[in-house]
Amino acid sequence: MNFKDPYPVQTPARLAVLLLFMPSERTDRVQQAQLRTLADLLQHQLSRQVQVLRMDELAHQDVFRSFDITQTPSFVLVQRGVELWRQVGMPQEDLLALLSERLFAASAQTFKA
């Protein structure tokens, strides 16, 4: 295993994971930089609820295929193996509010079960 690889990533089971599928830096450096900034902001704001993982198009081709990602950026929020939300392209709404809403809805479902 290469020490620069982001895997294995260990997150507590209670945390949701936001996969941020990003274009390769080779194809779009400007968008790549903007998305890194967004990912850092989201991680800071939602650190108790969400682990944000950036997926580079070239470095994580298998993950792109397994989630059937054909466009970047794409966002997939998962928790305990269940997809809670997916967005292709940049959301037009407040991303922080969207994620908080989805996490709240998922926690409400957990308490019902």
**Residue 10 falls within a domain, yes or no?**
no
Count how many domains the chain has. Answer: 1
Instruction: Provide the mean pLDDT of the chain.
Output: 83
In the DSSP assignment, the letter for residue 109 is: H
CB 21 within 8 A of CB 55: yes
pLDDT reading at 19 higher than 60: yes
Looking up tokens 């809403």 gives 101
CATH code for the domain in which residue 105 is found: 3.40.30.10
Give residue 55's domain range.
16-112
33-47 pLDDT per residue, tens: 889 999 999 999 988
Stretch 49-78: mean pLDDT: 93
**Residue 59 falls within a domain, yes or no?**
yes
**Residue 9 falls within a domain, yes or no?**
no
**Residue 79 falls within a domain, yes or no?**
yes
Contacts of 67 (CB under 8 A, 6+ apart): 19, 21, 74, 76
Sign of CA dihedral 98, 103, 108, 112: positive
**Residue 81 falls within a domain, yes or no?**
yes
Q: What is the pLDDT of residue 3?
A: 47
Percent of the chain predicted with pLDDT > 70: 82
Stretch 24-33: mean pLDDT: 80
Rounded to whole angstroms, the maximal C-alpha distance in the chain is: 46
Q: Rounded to two decimals, what is the model's pTM? A: 0.79
91-112 pLDDT per residue, tens: 887 888 888 888 888 777 655 5
**Residue 5 falls within a domain, yes or no?**
no
